[in-house]
């Protein structure tokens, strides 16, 4: 999972996993990059000690500038089999990973790059970067990105971005709720690391269940989501983490959560 272009670099730093794209200067999405990303996500999921995942653009100029269009001609008649289904599976795997995820955006996030960022729970962006689903400029379509973007910022703003293909600035993205934070000084990766450290210090079982419930608010009916919340609350009260957290609160010390 480490090496030259078309790969990803995965590092584990304490309870935080960092996944850096390594797809060349623009981090173009290729079949090789998707396969490496898929394997890296499987590895992260297998590590019980991971409590947060940060996805970033590594040393590239862009977080990710979208698909490598040089591949399109060869797959035109078999795109579902050779690209679309696998790419959607990998993006859904990122979205469904059990721990909180943060996209650290220090360069443009365009097309499939923004789709990767949209699959993360939170997005931290450096001032001066641009974000967009630009596929309509070349007659293409942001499939899963259109759905995730509309859920995140509403259909009217999403349609504006989709129909025009025009990127938006970091400040507009913040105002629209597309990103959670815009960084004025330093890098988005450093800010994401600070945020990840804070999240990793919280109850890991609590955060995993909170992610499930927040996603369920979109995905299932209200009564079903509330029923899920009742079950989740019982899991928390049955957990060692809650009682450790309460004990630490009264003892005025840092909690030592075990994730169970």
Output the six-digit token pair for 137.
Answer: 């400029």
| Residues forming beta bridges with residue 56, ordered by sequence position | 20, 104
d(CA 113, CA 30): 11
CB 141 within 8 A of CB 165: no
d(CA 54, CA 15): 11
71, 115, 166, 181: which one is catalytic? Answer: 115
CB 55 within 8 A of CB 101: yes
Q: Please calculate the CA angle 150-218-196 and round it to the nearest 5 degrees.
A: 85
Has 244 been annotated as catalytic? no
Has 135 been annotated as catalytic? yes
CB 71 within 8 A of CB 23: no
**Which residues fall within 8 angstroms of residue 192, CB to CB, at 6 or more apart?**
54, 56, 102, 103, 104, 124
18, 49, 71, 135: which one is catalytic? Answer: 135
What is the DSSP pairing of strand 101-105 with strand 122-126?
Answer: parallel
Place of tokens 């990766």: 189
**Which residues fall within 8 angstroms of residue 217, CB to CB, at 6 or more apart?**
225
**Other CB atoms within 10 A of residue 64 CB:** 30
Active-site residue set? 115, 135
């Amino acid at each position: 999972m480490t090496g030259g272009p078309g790969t990803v670099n995965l590092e584990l730093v304490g309870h935080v996993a960092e996944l850096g794209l390594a797809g060349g200067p623009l981090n173009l999405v290729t079949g090789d990059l998707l396969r490496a990303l898929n394997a890296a996500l499987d590895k992260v999921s297998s590590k019980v000690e991971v409590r947060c995942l940060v996805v970033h653009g590594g040393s590239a100029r862009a977080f990710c500038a979208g698909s490598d269009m040089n591949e399109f001609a060869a797959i035109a008649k078999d795109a579902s089999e050779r690209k679309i289904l696998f790419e959607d599976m990998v993006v859904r795997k990122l979205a469904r990973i059990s721990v909180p995820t943060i996209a650290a955006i220090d360069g443009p996030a365009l097309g499939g790059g923004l789709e990767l960022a949209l699959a993360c729970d939170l997005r931290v962006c450096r001032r001066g970067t641009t974000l967009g689903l630009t596929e309509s400029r070349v007659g293409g379509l942001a499939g899963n990105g259109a759905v995730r973007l509309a859920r995140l910022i509403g259909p009217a703003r999403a349609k504006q971005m989709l129909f025009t293909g025009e990127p938006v600035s970091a400040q507009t993205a913040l105002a629209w709720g597309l990103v959670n934070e815009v960084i004025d000084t330093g890098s988005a990766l450093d800010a994401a690391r600070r945020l990840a450290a804070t999240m990793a210090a919280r109850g890991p079982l609590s955060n995993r269940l909170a992610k499930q419930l927040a996603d369920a608010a979109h995905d299932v009916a209200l009564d079903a989501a509330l029923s899920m919340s009742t079950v989740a609350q019982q899991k928390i009260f049955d957990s060692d983490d809650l009682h450790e957290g309460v004990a630490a609160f009264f003892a005025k010390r840092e909690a030592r959560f075990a994730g169970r």
